[in-house]
């Protein structure tokens, strides 16, 4: 009798323990599911906000760029510039003669930049980046040139990073050098303004060695530059 009673008591305790265990497991599963759901929602919201923020920033940059390009007045003129006999340093670290680089048999499209610039240069470089895309396979026949007006800061390594930022192709080369060489080049092309902070957007095009340069003062769009380039080539 006592054994049977003990057995029933043990069975009852086991059943109660099993029920309690199942309840605990159920609560743990529910809690785990709730945590998973909350984490998933947080990840989703973060992803959406990040994507929206990136898209907005890109849209804002494009809008800002287009605003400047479309509202800035541009002026075109022809000029004959005497190339200074100076050496510059390409982004690949090679010291080269500026006249040799500009007279290598290709049409030239050139501007002046510096890598820490926050206003003029990013937009000018963005236009160059768009231009090379619009040129397509034709771009390999063109020599796109960007010359630093801040050679003290713009080392070849910095120029390489800058070129990568704007997806510069092999036809688009960036140059630095000594202060003297940079100043001589800026003065030769009448872009020197006394201080890099006074830098203004200028694009220079030339169809071939010995030809006149076409000068564009202001932010010309990539389409405008492309049209001017093709007009120059057709007129040869």
Binding residue ranges for Cu cation: 117, 121
**Among candidate residues 166, 170, 73, the one with its CA nearest the CA of residue 127:** 166
| Residue 232, both tokens | 């120059």
**Among candidate residues 185, 177, 180, 203, the one with its CA nearest the CA of residue 95:** 177
Distance between CA atoms of 154 and 177, rounded to whole angstroms? 9
Are 153 and 191 in contact by the 8 Å Cβ rule? The answer is: no
Binding residues: 117, 121
Are 102 and 108 in contact by the 8 Å Cβ rule? The answer is: yes
124 exposure class (CB count in 10 Å sphere: 0-12, 13-18, 19+): buried
In DSSP notation, 117-146 reads: -SSHHHHHHHHHHHHHHHHGGGGGGSEEEE
């Amino acid at each position: 009798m006592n054994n049977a009673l003990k057995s029933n008591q043990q069975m009852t305790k086991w059943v109660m323990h099993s029920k309690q265990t199942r309840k605990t497991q159920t609560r743990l599963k529910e809690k785990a599911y709730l945590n998973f759901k909350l984490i998933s929602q947080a990840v989703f919201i973060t992803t959406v906000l990040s994507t929206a923020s990136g898209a907005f920033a890109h849209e804002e940059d494009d809008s800002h760029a287009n605003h400047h390009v479309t509202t800035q007045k541009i002026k075109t003129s022809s000029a004959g510039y005497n190339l200074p006999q100076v050496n510059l340093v390409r982004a690949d670290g090679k010291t080269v003669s500026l006249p040799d680089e500009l007279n290598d048999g290709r049409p030239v499209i050139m501007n002046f930049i510096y890598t820490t610039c926050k206003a003029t240069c990013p937009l000018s470089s963005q236009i160059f980046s768009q231009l090379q895309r619009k040129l397509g396979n034709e771009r390999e026949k063109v020599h796109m040139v960007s010359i630093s007006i801040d050679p003290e800061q713009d080392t070849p390594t910095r120029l390489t990073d800058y070129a990568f930022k704007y997806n510069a192709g092999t036809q688009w080369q960036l140059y630095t050098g000594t202060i003297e060489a940079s100043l001589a080049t800026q003065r030769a092309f009448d872009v020197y303004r006394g201080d890099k902070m006074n830098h203004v957007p200028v694009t220079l095009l030339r169809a071939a060695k010995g030809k006149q340069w076409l000068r564009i003062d202001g932010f010309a769009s990539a389409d405008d530059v492309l049209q001017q380039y093709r007009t120059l080539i057709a007129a040869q």
